Amino acid sequence: MTSPVWRPFFQHAVEPDPPVIVRAEGAYLHTSDGRALLDAISSWWVTTHGHRHPRIMAAIREATESLDQMIFATVTHEPAERLARELVAIAPAGLAHVFYSDSGSTAVEVALKMALGAFANRGEKRTTIVALEGAYHGDTIGTMSVGERGVFNAAYEPLLFDVARLPFPALGREQATLDRLEQIARAGGVAALIVEPLVLGAGGMRMYPPSVLTELGRIAREAGALVIADEVMTGWGRTGSLFACEQAGLSPDILCTSKGLTGGAVPLAATLATAEIFEAHLSTDRSKTFFHSSSYTANPIACAAAVANLEVWRDEPVRARIAALGAAQSKRIARFEGDPRFANPRVCGTIAAVDLVAPDTGYLAEIGLTLRSFFLDRGLLVRPLGEALYLMPPYCVTETELDRLYDAFEEAAGLMG
Ligand code: PLP
Query: What's the CA-to-centroid distance between 221 and ligand 1, angstroms?
Result: 25
Query: What's the CA-to-centroid distance between 236 and ligand 1, angstroms?
Result: 14
Interface confidence (ipTM) of the complex: 0.99
Same domain, 208 and 336: no
Q: Is the CB of 103 under 6 A from ligand 1?
A: yes
Q: Is the CB of 251 under 6 A from ligand 1?
A: no
Same domain, 348 and 368: yes
Q: For each of the chain's 417 residues, which pLDDT tens digit applies? A: 689 999 999 999 999 999 999 999 999 999 999 999 999 999 999 999 999 999 999 999 999 999 999 999 999 999 999 999 999 999 999 999 999 999 999 999 999 999 999 999 999 999 999 999 999 999 999 999 999 999 999 999 999 999 999 999 999 999 999 999 999 999 999 999 999 999 999 999 999 999 999 999 999 999 999 999 999 999 999 999 999 999 999 999 999 999 999 999 999 999 999 999 999 999 999 999 999 999 999 999 999 999 999 999 999 999 999 999 999 999 999 999 999 999 999 999 999 999 999 877 777 777 888 899 999 999 999 999 988 999 999 999 999 999 999 999 999 988 876
* Ligand 1 atom having least distance to the Cα of 234: 3
> Would the annotation count 136 as a binding residue?
yes
Residue with the smallest CA separation from ligand 1 atom 13 is 104
Same domain, 307 and 383: no
Q: Is the CB of 328 under 6 A from ligand 1?
A: no
> Would the annotation count 43 as a binding residue?
no
Angle at 115 between CA 109 and CA 120, to 5 degrees: 120
Task: Give the three-state DSSP class for 334.
Answer: helix
Q: What are phi and psi of 229, to 5 degrees?
A: -100, 115
**Whether the Cβ atoms of residue 392 and residue 41 lie closer than 8 Å to each other:** yes
* Ligand 1 atom having least distance to the Cα of 233: 5
Domain boundary among 290, 315, 340: 315
Residue with the smallest CA separation from ligand 1 atom 10 is 137
342 to 9, 22, 27, 181, 231: CA distances (angstroms): 26, 36, 26, 32, 28
CATH number at residue 287: 3.40.640.10
Which residue(s) pair with 30 in the sheet? 23, 36
Residue 2 lies in a domain: no
Give 310's contacts (C-beta < 8 A, 6+ positions apart): 83, 86, 87, 90
Residue with the smallest CA separation from ligand 1 atom 1 is 137
> Would the annotation count 373 as a binding residue?
no
Interhelix angle 174-187/210-222, nearest 10 degrees: 10
Same domain, 160 and 230: yes
Query: What's the CA-to-centroid distance between 204 and ligand 1, angstroms?
Result: 13
Same domain, 58 and 26: no
Residue 361 lies in a domain: yes
Please tell me the total count of domains within the chain: 2
> Would the annotation count 104 as a binding residue?
yes
Q: What are phi and psi of 369, to 5 degrees?
A: -65, -40
Task: Give the three-state DSSP class for 193.
Answer: strand
CA-atom Rg of the chain in angstroms = 21
Q: Is the CB of 239 under 6 A from ligand 1?
A: no
Query: What's the CA-to-centroid distance between 106 and ligand 1, angstroms?
Result: 9
CATH number at residue 332: 3.90.1150.10
Q: Is the CB of 137 under 6 A from ligand 1?
A: yes
Q: Is the CB of 260 under 6 A from ligand 1?
A: no
Residue 94 lies in a domain: yes
**Helix (H) or strand (E) segment spanning residue 351:** strand 351-356
Query: What's the CA-to-centroid distance between 341 and ligand 1, angstroms?
Result: 30
Residue with the smallest CA separation from ligand 1 atom 14 is 104
Residue 7 lies in a domain: no
Same domain, 141 and 48: no
Q: Is the CB of 230 under 6 A from ligand 1?
A: yes
Same domain, 181 and 212: yes
Residue 13 lies in a domain: no
Q: What is the pLDDT of residue 367?
A: 81
Q: Is the CB of 233 under 6 A from ligand 1?
A: yes
Query: What's the CA-to-centroid distance between 412 and ligand 1, angstroms?
Result: 27
> Would the annotation count 314 as a binding residue?
no
* Ligand 1 atom having least distance to the Cα of 108: 10
Q: What is the pLDDT of residue 358?
A: 80
Same domain, 34 and 132: no
Q: What is the pLDDT of residue 1?
A: 61
Same domain, 173 and 31: no
Q: What is the pLDDT of residue 417?
A: 64
Domain boundary among 315, 337, 371: 315
Give 130's contacts (C-beta < 8 A, 6+ positions apart): 163, 164, 165, 166, 181, 184, 190, 192, 193, 194, 220, 225
Domain boundary among 289, 315, 341: 315
Same domain, 258 and 194: yes
Residue 298 lies in a domain: yes
> Would the annotation count 105 as a binding residue?
yes
Of 18, 1, 21, the residue nearest 10 (C-alpha): 18
Residue 156 lies in a domain: yes
Range of the domain at 192: 54-315
Same domain, 153 and 216: yes
Residue 231 lies in a domain: yes
Same domain, 271 and 333: no
Residue with the smallest CA separation from ligand 1 atom 15 is 104
> Would the annotation count 44 as a binding residue?
yes
* Euclidean distance between CA atoms 310 and 294, whole angstroms: 24
